[in-house]
Every structure is written in C-alpha cells, then in structure tokens.
Amino acid sequence: MRKRRTRDIVIELTSLLDVVMILIFAVMIENSKMVEASEAEVAAANVTMEEMRNELDEAEAEKIRLTEDYTVQLENRDRELQEIKTEAEETGKELDKAKEDYLKLSGEKEEISRELKKAQIKLGEGNVEELLARIANEELKNKSYEYLSGLIYVYNIGAKNVYEDPEDDEYPIYKTMYYGRAESNDEDVFVEYFTNFERTQAIETMKGNLVKGIDKALLSDDAQVYVIFTYNLDDIFKQDRLAIQNALTEITSKYKDRVWYKTIIESTEEDENETN
C-alpha cells in the first residue's frame, strides 16, 4: 500500500513537472516573441532616429544655404539701391540742366517773338527788303536758327516772258512762272505756258500747292507766312501779272493777319503793296 502511494505521488509530481515545463516553455516562447517585437521596435526607432537625423542635417544645410542666399540678396539690393541713388542724382543734375536750358530757350523765344512782331510791322509798312535782311541776319541765326526757320515761311513767286531775241521780238516764244519756299530753292516749281487756258491751269495748280504749304506751316500757332510776288514790268504782260496777283490776293486774304502778301517790281523802285 505504501509503495502504491509513493508511486502515485511520483506520477503526480511527474505530471506537475510536465505542467511546469510546459508553462516554462510557454513563458520562454512568449518572452522570445516580446524580445523580437522589442528588437523590431528598437530597429524601427533607430531607423526613425536616423531619418530624423538626416532631415535635421538637411534642414541645417538648407538653413546655411538660405542664409548665404539672403546675404547675397541683401548685398545685391544694397548695390541696386546705390545704383538707383546714383542714377537719381545724375537725373536730378540733368533735370536741373534741362530746366536751365528751357529757361534760356524761353528767353530766346520771347526775344525772337519780339523780333518777329517788329518784322511784321516793318512788312506792313512795306519794308519787305528789311524783313528779309533781318531773317538772314546772323544775330537771329545765332539765337535760334532752327526755331526761326519753323516760325517764318517765305514763298517766292515769279513770272516772266521768254523771248528768242529780247531786242527785236514783240511776242515771247513762251511764258514761265515759278513758285516755292525761299529756303528750298531746289524744290521750286517751274511752269511754262503760252495760252490763257494754259495760264489758268498753271495758276490753279499754284494756288493748290500754296494753300497746302500754307496750311501745313500754320499748324504751328506762332508761325507766319510771307508771300512775295516779284516781276519785271518789261518781262510780263499786264493780263498775266494781274491774273497772278488776283490769285495770290484770293489765297492770302482768307488767312487774315497770319499770311502777308507783297509785290516787288524789279525794273523800278515803285512797288504795289498789297498786305492783309
């Protein structure tokens, strides 16, 4: 009986030992799993830390680069500001000079305007030769020739008979008329005619060209136009002279005090002054 009891105890202990061993193995397996999980978490944490360290290094490098770029930008901006300041100073000097030139030109313009008014008065008195002399005068040229050339326009008109033998011939072989601006001799228009019909056509063409030139000249508010008809009594028939004079009077009369008309007779000192 006693042996059986001992055997039962051994069996129970053995069974208990198996259970304990199973529990130990279970604990070891679970512990192994926990260790592996921890190692994986540690590895993941290490990877994360490495990535964060790399990002930190990149951020530091970016910070340095941005600092350098900002420094360069500041230097460039300072240089640009200095250039702008220099340009502003130069522009200020140019503006001061332009102001001085403008004031000087204004004074010259007023003086020339006074000379022009005097010239108009002289022309109204019939002294066209004195007017032309004043226009050509070096004093006015030195003041402002370009301004004056855009202020005074002189149109010369002339006409004469052309004879094969002026001493013996009673009638010309043809008649001629010319017109153009005094300062543009190379642009003068020369027209030959013989019959009254041809004369009328030539005069109508001249009127159209003169009106076009006068209208263009008077686009400037200060401009004045002078129309001068020069002829020799011995070289033109009266009917031709009167036809040209009537045409010029018709043209110039509609412009009132901005267009002046005068005739000059070359053969005598007597002249016919027609001024509007």
Q: Which CATH number fits the domain that encloses residue 203? A: 3.30.420
Residue 85 has pLDDT above 60, yes or no: yes
pLDDT at 109: 58
The string of pLDDT tens digits covering residues 28-80 is: 888 888 888 888 888 888 888 888 888 888 888 888 888 888 888 888 888 88
Least confident of 8-17, 21-30, 153-162, 235-244: 8-17
Cα distances (Å, whole numbers) of residue 14 to 7, 23, 167 = 10, 14, 174
All residues at 6 or more sequence positions from 151 whose CB lies less than 8 Å from its CB, including other chains: 112, 116, 220, 222, 223, 224
pLDDT at 270: 43
Task: Tell me if 64 is assigned to some domain.
Answer: no
pLDDT at 246: 92
pLDDT at 272: 43
Between 200 and 31, name the one with better pLDDT.
200
Instruction: Give the count of beta carbons closer than 10 Å to the beta carbon of residue 143.
Output: 17
Task: Tell me if 35 is assigned to some domain.
Answer: no
* N- to C-terminal Cα separation, the chain: 171
Task: Tell me if 130 is assigned to some domain.
Answer: no
Share of the chain above pLDDT 90, in %: 8
Between CA 48 and CA 40 the distance in angstroms is 12
**Averaged pLDDT score across all residues of the chain:** 77
Task: Tell me if 217 is assigned to some domain.
Answer: yes
Task: Tell me if 77 is assigned to some domain.
Answer: no
Provide the 8-state DSSP code for 275: -
160 within 8 A of 232, measured Cβ to Cβ: yes
Task: Tell me if 160 is assigned to some domain.
Answer: yes
Q: How confident is the model at residue 146 (pLDDT cuts 50, 70, 90)?
A: very low
**Bridge partner residues of 159 (DSSP):** 177
Task: Tell me if 20 is assigned to some domain.
Answer: no
pLDDT at 263: 86
Query: What's the structural domain count of the chain?
Result: 1
Q: How confident is the model at residue 121 (pLDDT cuts 50, 70, 90)?
A: low
pLDDT at 110: 63
pLDDT at 274: 41
Task: Tell me if 84 is assigned to some domain.
Answer: no
| Residue 251 domain boundaries | 150-265
pLDDT at 141: 44
Mean pLDDT over residues 143-150, rounded? 47
Mean pLDDT over residues 148-177, rounded? 80
